[in-house]
């Protein structure tokens, strides 16, 4: 791979790592889907992935053509992949099958409505991230282009559909950051609307005050990652990670990032949080032994 491709793929990977989490937000946005999708999201936040999968499977049997439930099924598979099943054939195939089904449903019904356009953005965000994970850079580039095109199509709709503050906020921040830090990407970026770091961060920060717990969690997560991975402002990152862990004490990914941030700050809380993390991994009866080993290895790699 050329230096230019490595640079672009690294940046795209971080962008899509964040964006692929956005599916969480829509359960209690302006559109109401009922209690079952909300229950799935709650289970996923609590890292009860098998319980979430059980709910989703039942609904897929009842609504096989639902874009929402196919996306939720893909999201469960994605969580399993991130939780140590990177090379697991079943979960990778499940992810690809459900994403393909969701895309087919959306293309059939059209994406003019806010929620359908939002789903379509998430489909291609997920697809891009999965292709990057498997080093399929040409396929990833195609999906990334489609994802960005759809995000720009949603510009100006944020007041009408709150979830778009997330996708627009990420776009504005990351496009500006890419232009500033990745000179080799500038010829590529000239074909897209300009980024705006301040506007992007403003959009994300306003959602940290949202009454919607899902929007609030995701905004805090994205801001944590931005200040940890890109800005390297660890005290600021810690303010968001502490909120995430407080509201989602059993979420192992949030806890792991919180520990990594504390380590960067040389905080005296590292030992206490590390011990707590080990206990949470051990006590989670929905993780396999392989997955538990994965999370402990992730912890040890940073200690």
pLDDT tens string for the chain (303 positions)? 444 444 455 455 555 555 555 444 443 343 434 568 888 888 999 999 999 999 999 999 999 999 989 999 999 999 999 999 999 999 999 999 999 999 999 989 888 899 899 889 989 888 888 887 787 878 888 888 888 899 999 999 999 999 899 999 999 999 999 899 888 888 888 888 999 999 999 999 999 988 877 788 889 999 999 999 999 999 999 999 999 999 999 999 999 999 999 999 999 999 999 999 999 999 999 999 999 999 999 999 865
- Predicted pLDDT at 122: 87
- Predicted pLDDT at 51: 96
- Predicted pLDDT at 214: 76
Which candidate, 266, 264, 209, 206, places its Cα nearest to that of 237?
Answer: 264
Quickly count: other Cβ atoms within 10 Å of residue 172's Cβ. 24
Which candidate, 257, 258, 250, 249, places its Cα nearest to that of 285?
Answer: 250
Interatomic CA distance for residues 43 and 260, integer angstroms: 24
Interatomic CA distance for residues 174 and 172, integer angstroms: 6
């Amino acid at each position: 791979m050329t230096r230019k491709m490595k640079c672009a793929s690294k940046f795209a990977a971080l962008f899509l790592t964040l964006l692929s989490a956005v599916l969480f937000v829509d359960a209690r946005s302006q559109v109401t889907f009922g209690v079952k999708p909300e229950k799935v999201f709650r289970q996923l936040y609590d890292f009860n992935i098998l319980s979430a999968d059980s709910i989703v499977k039942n609904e897929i049997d009842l609504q096989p053509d639902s874009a929402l439930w196919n996306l939720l099924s893909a999201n469960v598979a994605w969580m399993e992949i991130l939780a140590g099943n990177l090379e697991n054939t079943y979960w990778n195939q499940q992810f690809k099958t459900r994403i393909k089904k969701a895309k087919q449903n959306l293309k059939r019904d059209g994406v003019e409505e806010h929620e359908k356009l939002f789903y379509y953005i998430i489909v291609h965000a997920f697809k891009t991230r999965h292709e990057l994970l498997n080093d399929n850079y040409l396929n990833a580039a195609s999906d990334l282009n489609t994802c960005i095109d759809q995000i720009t199509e949603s510009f100006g709709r944020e007041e009408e559909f709150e979830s778009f503050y997330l996708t627009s906020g990420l776009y504005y921040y990351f496009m500006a950051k890419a232009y500033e830090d990745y000179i080799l990407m500038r010829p590529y970026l000239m074909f897209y609307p300009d980024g705006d770091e301040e506007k992007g961060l403003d959009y994300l920060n306003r959602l940290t005050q949202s009454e919607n717990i899902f929007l609030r969690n995701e905004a805090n997560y994205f801001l944590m990652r931005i200040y940890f991975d890109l800005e390297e402002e660890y005290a600021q990152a810690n303010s968001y990670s502490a909120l995430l862990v407080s509201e989602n004490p059993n979420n192992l990914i949030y806890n792991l990032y919180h520990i990594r941030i504390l380590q960067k700050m040389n905080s005296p809380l590292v030992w206490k949080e590390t011990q707590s993390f080990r206990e949470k991994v051990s006590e989670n009866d929905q993780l396999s032994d392989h997955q538990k080993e994965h999370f402990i290895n992730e912890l040890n790699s940073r200690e």
